Structure 1
């Protein structure tokens, strides 16, 4: 084996190490969170980062299912300067405005020692968020009640932000699964009040194309509070880059025709590019044929 071959993971690493390395390069089962691996979305990421430098602005990412909205949202959230680690919330058919706000509270209370210490010292509970004094251990005796109004929810988020060093960033994924019109209107009004009252919190919402109309129609001035970013399937060059950069890092030789085939079959949906590449690269590893795609 030549000196160069010794540098190729596909030829030198055991299965576990090879698989762990590949898991850092390809992510078919979970959203990306690093700018380094978010291929083909550089322009959209830059737009969001610039837009969210403005106080009181939120982001809405929309597009077909599977085009990478969650990856763009989470990467954007973790890339924002002077912000806490993102709160990640996934919606389902049973989600409501109240359950989303409750989840923000629950995640922060379990994550931030400073926030939890402040609650304990003040003897506060969530209790329909007046943050009423109900005993030192009330927060830990059971799940909190849901906020009963937009104003209560705003007070809650303000309370959280005032007990943290950096601004709160919340990613709300699959927002389109909340189909109740009343809940949609309440959520839009809440985001407007977060902005109007200068609360240090930013929300990044993901949904299909109808989510834009849903949020914008909920309040006449909603467009002032949102930066919207629409996603299409990945362009060809980005598809090629995902496959070729992963292959290079793994020390795998892959011909251009195979790269084009993967890009075509995927139809520009990132999940399929990552999944097909993963399966192919494991076949190359198993073949023990010099790390060449055949």
Structure 2
């Protein structure tokens, strides 16, 4: 691999800035895509209970021959039981983590997240569950996904949650400045999912013009913009080897101030992921 993947290092984790998202990569094809990514040099894999592909991720890891110590593996607890009840209890989260590890065939993940704040979530109980997962050695570090700033302030400031990382939708058309302003002084990294806005940034005209200037694609510009930011990691999904290679090549793209100003001028309120049970993002 010509461009080594830089790493975000904190007292709680050592996480490659460019990771590999596995949403919808299931079955034999999904497993092959994950194996391909590992062969190309990806070492940060992101999965979740809800993705239904933890077994494929685990199988790809086992077949890859990559030493476990070289990998950074994230998975996530879904907030609800199959019958719609709150699962974010100390026992519920601990059991979910154990089940995930069984499917991954791993003794421990590097990062375990609450995937979404549940609509009926008892925040203190949910944090107690995360701490139990960490203290049991099932995860090196714990964190949350899709938590707005207000909820994070309660979790970290009031409850003292040992949040090691936060994962949210973040891309060139969705600002996370407010969240980053809160996290950076605390030394907590942000992982950007949907960094290409569900693929829609591949055809964005401003990004395409910047890409022409540098001899790269609009998608590579979008990734480079994220990857150059302090404390920000990105986890694009890429089923094909060609796309996996292109995402890695984004590490070599060097934007200038003119490029950044043009990207700053894009709309910053175009959220692509906001299900009915999503929290109040402005909270």
TM-score tier by shorter-chain length is 0.3 to 0.5
Which structure dedicates a bigger proportion of its chain to strand? 2
TM-score, normalising length: structure 2: 0.36
Which structure dedicates a bigger proportion of its chain to helix? 1
TM-score, normalising length: structure 1: 0.35
Structure possessing the higher radius of gyration over alpha carbons: 1
